[in-house]
Amino acid sequence: MGASSPKISINSGSRTLDLMKPAVMGILNITPDSFYDGGKFTSEKQILEATEQMLLDGAGLIDIGAVSTRPGASKVSEKEESDRLIPVLQLISRHFPEAILSVDTYRSEIAKEAIAAGGHMINDISGGDMDPNMFKTIAKLGVPYILMHMQGTPENMQNNPQYDDIIEDILGFFNTQLNKLAHLGVHNNIILDPGFGFGKTVDHNFQILKSLKRFTETGFPVLTGISRKSMINRILKTKPENALNGTTALHVIALLNGASILRVHDVKEALQAIELVEYYKMI
């Protein structure tokens, strides 16, 4: 069901991202309605400054999303997603040619456009379920692919999500999708994301966090997207804007349980968590 060891190398020009040590993926939402930073980055100056700061803080990748996938989010047309995304990708790749750019999309046509415009990998929240052409597109493009689990769609995913066994159900989904990709010749350059908050209750999310090593046992690197999410806020009675401390606490647990990539709003703090956990493991 996977490679021999949980690692992946992402090549971007002369730069390679080696996940033998955990990496940080900085979030750049160019949407008006994302749950934490929606509408924050609208001008070229804001976008470039935010990207530069994340890279200076040590981000190994930048994840660019043009469609909000928060619970209850409404659909955005393919044209609107393209109109938002492609100019920003071109802008960032022009100013920061060394950066590795991940593109957050579930549409195969957007994936094609994005890679042509300077993107390097695709982050698909639907794990290939929302566009039947996505896997064929990934196979043809030959780019790294983040395979995420989601129950339902962003519009309805938090309407009473239920599982027989949350861990086994997600592992079963991954196994099915990985077999489809393998049939198309895609065996490597796959990252698994169990999809915290995407069709899960708070208890589901913590069960996934507690059992994260089960996903690393597949042999593929595991990405965790916990940053400032409701699984923190509902326990601590916080809001996204003051959930950094809770985020860091859960990042430490994720790292101790084998996470290879932290997808975050706060790059510097995530890097500090990685440095401390790596030192702790070394002693």
pLDDT tens digit sequence for 95-131: 999 899 999 999 999 999 999 999 999 999 999 999 9
How many CB atoms neighbour CB 74 within 10 A? 9
pLDDT tens digit sequence for 48-64: 999 999 999 999 999 99
pLDDT tens digit sequence for 7-66: 566 655 455 778 889 999 999 998 774 444 445 657 889 899 999 999 999 999 999 999
d(CA 191, CA 220): 6
Which H/E stretch holds residue 140? Answer: helix 134-141
Catalytic residue (choose from 140, 263, 268, 281): 263
Going edge to edge, which strands form the sheet with 223-224?
Answer: 190-193, 145-148, 121-124, 101-104, 61-65, 23-29, 261-264, 223-224
Catalytic residue (choose from 15, 112, 229, 239): 229
Cβ–Cβ < 8 Å for 166, 174: no
Instruction: Answer yes or no: 136 catalytic.
Output: no
Which residues 6+ apart lie within 8 Å of 23 measured at CB?
17, 60, 61, 260, 261, 262
Residue 162 is predicted with a pLDDT of 87
Instruction: Answer yes or no: 210 catalytic.
Output: no
* Partners of residue 223 on adjacent β-strands: 261
d(CA 181, CA 135): 6
Q: What are phi and psi of 41, to 5 degrees?
A: -120, 95
Angle of helix 202-210 relative to helix 244-256, nearest 10 degrees, comes to 40
Tell me which CATH homologous superfamily contains domain 20-282. Answer: Dihydropteroate synthase-like (3.20.20.20)
Which residues 6+ apart lie within 8 Å of 248 measured at CB?
269, 270, 272, 273
